[in-house]
Amino acid sequence: MTMLAPKKLTTPSDFFACPIWRYDDEDDLYHPVLEEEDIPESERDLSFRAIFTTPSGQKLDGYLVGISRVFSIGLFGHDRFYHANKNLGPESKGWMEEYVSDRPEIGIKSWQDLFPLQYTTQIDRDGYRDFSGTFNLD
């Protein structure tokens, strides 16, 4: 496996290089999770590559934050992230509207048509198990 350095996560390619990242507030960087000892105590510091499915069955690439309580996601589009965070409802709705507007090829007309999103992580690594659930802004 390629050695990855801590960094700011700036493009979706970061999640294709490594499917799990942990945030460290001491250096304000994301660190690749390559081994079990890289896993932090708080699941809120973990981000996982995932596939999201809209109510209409559309598949979207992205990432999620957390495990048992997923509170934030990012959808990939045009080599950038579009965020949705349950703690930032009005802002998230605006970011999701921007995602829909920037991605006419997905055939979704409104941010409301994205939700609820079903997700399944895409860890694809020995010793790790994918998990799934539902993310909704409302």
Query: Which of 72, 34, 29, 28 minimizes the C-alpha distance to 50?
Result: 72
Model's pTM, two decimal places?
Answer: 0.92
Contact 31, 6 (CB under 8 A): yes
Q: How many domains are contained in the chain? A: 1
Residues comprising the chain, all counted: 138
Enclosing domain of residue 36: 13-135
Would residue 72 count as lying in a domain? yes
Mean pLDDT by groups of 10 residues along the chain of 138 residues: 77 94 94 88 93 96 95 95 95 97 94 97 90 93
Would residue 67 count as lying in a domain? yes
Would residue 4 count as lying in a domain? no
> For position 1, what pLDDT does the model report?
45
